[in-house]
C-alpha cells in the first residue's frame, strides 16, 4: 500500500461507521447529517488530532466503546454548524427595535422585557440584540429591564458567547462601524464587547431536544437557522413547546429567513411588520 493510500484510508469511513456517527449525532442533538459523509469526515479529522487518535476508523471504534465521554462530546460539538454574523439578515433587528419592543412596552407598561435567543452560536446574535436595544432604548437598558438568555448546545459556543471576544474578520461581518467603536474595546488584534453589553446576556448550555430547565417565560424568542437541521417532527415539537411553555401571551417568535412554522397553524399566526415576517401565539393575539 502506498503512503497516499494509507493516508486516504485513515481519513475515510465505511458506510457503517458513517451511519454510527450520523445516529449518534441525531440521537444527542437532533442534527441530521444524512448524505453528508464528506462533512462528517472533515469535521472528525481535527477531533482525531486533538485526541491523538491515528485514524477516523479508530475514532469511531472508540466511540462505539462508549467509555470516552470527552471524545463523544467533542465529536458532537464538531458536528454543529456555527455559521453566524452580527446583525445577520439585518431586518429582524430593526423590526425588534422599531415594532416589537414598542408594542411590548405599551402592553406591559414599560417592561421588563425577557428575550430568549436559542442557538446563539458564538454570541453575535445576542450581542446584536443587546446593541440595538442599548442604542434605541437606553433608559430601559440602564434600568436593567432587558434580559437576554442566550443558549446553545455547543460548550465551545457558549464559552465564546460568555467571553465575547471577536477577530477583526468577525467584526467586519455585519457590525456597523459606529457600533464597533461604541460597544467594543480593541485589545491587541481582538475586539471585546464592553461590560455593559455582556452584562445584559446570560449565556448557558441548552440542548433544544432536552427539557428546558431555567428558561423563563419570554416576550421574544429568537431561534434562527437551527431548525433547518432537524426533522419536521423535531421542529414541530420545539415550536409547540415554545408556544405553550415559553412565549408569554402576545409574545413574538423570530425564525430564520428561510424558515416558517407553516405546519404549526394551531399555535402561531403571522404578523407582518414591514417586509418582515414574525409570529405571535394565537392565544395571545
Ligand atoms: C447556524 S448556527 C445559527 C446561529 C444564529 N442563530 C444565527 O442565525 O446566526 C446553528 C447553531 O445551532 C446550534 N445547535 C445545533 N443543534 C442544537 C440543539 N440540539 N440544541 C441547541 N442548539 C443547537 C449549533 O451549535 C449552532 O451554534
Q: What is the pLDDT of residues 129-173, one digit of tens each?
A: 999 999 999 999 999 999 999 999 999 999 999 999 999 999 999
pLDDT at 275 exceeding the cut of 80: no
Quote the pTM value: 0.94
Q: What is the mean pLDDT of residues 230-259?
A: 93
DSSP summary character for residue 264: G
Given 3-state DSSP classes, what are the helix, strand and coil percentages for the chain, each rounded to the nearest 5? Answer: 50, 20, 30
Going by the DSSP 8-state scheme, the letter that residue 48 receives in this structure is H
Report the C-alpha gap between 39 and 79 in whole angstroms: 8
Q: For residue 94, report the distance from its CA to the centre of ligand 1, in Å.
A: 22
Q: What's the whole-number mean pLDDT along residues 214-230?
A: 96
pLDDT tens-digit profile of 96-141? 999 999 999 999 877 799 999 999 999 999 999 999 999 999 999 9
Residue 284 pLDDT > 70: no
Measure the N-to-C terminal CA separation of the chain; round to a whole number of Å: 68
Q: Whose CA is nearest to atom 27 of ligand 1?
A: 121
Rounded mean pLDDT, 69-87: 97
To test the pocket of ligand 1, the residue of 29, 85, 119 to mutate (highest count of ligand atoms within 8 Å of its CB) is 119
Instruction: Please give the Cα distance from 28 to 154 (Å, whole number).
Output: 12
Amino acid at each position: 500500500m502506498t503512503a497516499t493510500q494509507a493516508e486516504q484510508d485513515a481519513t475515510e469511513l465505511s458506510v457503517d461507521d458513517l451511519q454510527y456517527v450520523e445516529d449518534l449525532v441525531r440521537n444527542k442533538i437532533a442534527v441530521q447529517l444524512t448524505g453528508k459523509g464528506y462533512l462528517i469526515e472533515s469535521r472528525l479529522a481535527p477531533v482525531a488530532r486533538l485526541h491523538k487518535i491515528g485514524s477516523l476508523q479508530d475514532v469511531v471504534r472508540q466511540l462505539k466503546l462508549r467509555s470516552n465521554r470527552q471524545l463523544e462530546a467533542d465529536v458532537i460539538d464538531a458536528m454543529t454548524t456555527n455559521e453566524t454574523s452580527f446583525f445577520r439578515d439585518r431586518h429582524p433587528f430593526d423590526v425588534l427595535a422599531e415594532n416589537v419592543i414598542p408594542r411590548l412596552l405599551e402592553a406591559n407598561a414599560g417592561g421588563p422585557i425577557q428575550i430568549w435567543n436559542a442557538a446563539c452560536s458564538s454570541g453575535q446574535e445576542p450581542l446584536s440584540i443587546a446593541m440595538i436595544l442599548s442604542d434605541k432604548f437606553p433608559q430601559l437598558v440602564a434600568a436593567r429591564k432587558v434580559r437576554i438568555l442566550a443558549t446553545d448546545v455547543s460548550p465551545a459556543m457558549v464559552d465564546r458567547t460568555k467571553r465575547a471576544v471577536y477577530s477583526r474578520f468577525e467584526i467586519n461581518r455585519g457590525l456597523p462601524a459606529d457600533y464597533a467603536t461604541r460597544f467594543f474595546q480593541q485589545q491587541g488584534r481582538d475586539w471585546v464587547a464592553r461590560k455593559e453589553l455582556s452584562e445584559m446576556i446570560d449565556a448557558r448550555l441548552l440542548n433544544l431536544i432536552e427539557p428546558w430547565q431555567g428558561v423563563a417565560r419570554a416576550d421574544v424568542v429568537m431561534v434562527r437557522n437551527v431548525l433547518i437541521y432537524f426533522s419536521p417532527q423535531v421542529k414541530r415539537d420545539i415550536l409547540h413547546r415554545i408556544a405553550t411553555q415559553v412565549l408569554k401571551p402576545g409574545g413574538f417568535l423570530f425564525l430564520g429567513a428561510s424558515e416558517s412554522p407553516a405546519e404549526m397553524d394551531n399555535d402561531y399566526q403571522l404578523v407582518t411588520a414591514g417586509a418582515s415576517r414574525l409570529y405571535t401565539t394565537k392565544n395571545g393575539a
